[in-house]
Amino acid sequence: MKNFAGKVAVITGGAGGLGREFAHVAAGLGMKIVLADVQQDALDRARSELEGQGAQVLAMRCDVRKGEQVQALADAAMERFGAVHLVFNNAGVGAGGLVWENSEADWEWVLGVNLWGVIHGVRIFTRLMLECAKRDAQFEGHIVNTASMAGLLNAPAMGVYNVSKHAVVSLSESLYHDLQLVDAPIGASVLCPYFVPTGISQSHRNRPDDVRMEAAPTASQLAAQALTVKAVESGKVTAAQVAQMTFDAVRDGQFYIYSHPGALGNVAERMDAIVHQRNPGDPYAATPHVREMLRSKL
């Protein structure tokens, strides 16, 4: 996708973090913007900011776990703007702890947002964009799914999050191949940020009642939360920088997008272990103090 001016961008998780920065870049490029989020006050603030930049904005509360709400978002986008060209399946939440200590509600919440939100976005918006392409011979589109470096690595005490993000990487690669198979005028990318200062470490603030925590957090869950907060808040690459990297990658037709390419050494080691049938290596080999910190709190 080379041209952005006048085109329509849909962004889930658009009221904060990476989503809000995607929206600001889109507004600067002259795009019309459809923002979706579960936090109404943040959504209202983001809409006001973007309209202050002169952007045309449709802001809509949407729980991406629910297919009918994602469909309503797509319908509203088409009714307001008549087409969709760029989709960011970006909404995400975080949870950690020893994998056997995560409750059924933990799994339902994290997989509901991180995976089912992307599934709904892909199945609904890809078909919609293909229909738009039938009506416009010059149509060009792109879908960006937000995964994580946790979709390529498996750090301990992050199992539920790791599983959700590995699935997003797989879904995104499958989407890329399927679009290529039918010569669709639609590109696909998967964004794998590492530790970037966003609100994901506090995502429990928007955890719905139907998947609420019934018991107090375990020692491992508290330790994982503390580690995530420290790592995210100390991140040196900003969400605004990642947003610009992402738009550059969309323009270049680049599939894999990394905020911290230096972390790929760990990915290469993991893949080498898989190919040579070695047991999984220690993801904290280069930072043993992190492992010891986790152990000390269990």
Sort 17 into a burial class: Cβ within 10 Å, 0-12 / 13-18 / 19+.
buried
Q: Which residue has the higher pLDDT, 249 or 229?
A: 249
Which amino acid would we find at residue 217? P
| CATH classification of the domain holding 221 | 3.40.50.720
**157: in domain:** yes
What pTM was computed for the model? 0.95
Which of 161, 176, 194, 258 is catalytic? The answer is 161
Position 244 in a domain: yes
- Six-digit token string for 55: 């952007």
How much is the average pLDDT of 54-59?
Answer: 97
Q: Please state the rounded mean pLDDT for residues 12-31.
A: 97
3 belongs to a structural domain: no
In a domain, 136, yes or no: yes
Q: Identify the CA nearest to 130 among candidates 188, 89, 60, 172.
A: 188
Residue 234 lies in a domain: yes
**Amino acid, res. 297:** K
Per-residue pLDDT, averaged over 63-72, amounts to: 98
59: in domain: yes
Structurally, how many domains does the chain consist of? 1
- pLDDT of 15 reads 95
3-state SS assignment for residue 160: helix
Q: Is residue 2 part of a domain?
A: no
> What is d(CA 153, CA 135) in angstroms, rounded to the nearest whole number?
41
Average pLDDT, the chain: 94
What is the per-residue pLDDT across 134-151, written as a single tens digit (0 to 9) for each? Answer: 999 999 999 999 999 999
Q: What pLDDT, in 10s, does the model give residues 165-223?
A: 999 999 999 999 999 999 999 999 999 999 887 877 677 788 888 999 888 999 999 98
In a domain, 293, yes or no: yes
161 is catalytic: yes
Residue 117 belongs to domain spanning: 8-297
Q: d(Cα 17, Cα 42) in Å, to the nearest integer?
A: 11
* pLDDT of 285 strictly over 90: no
Which pLDDT belongs to residue 201?
A: 65
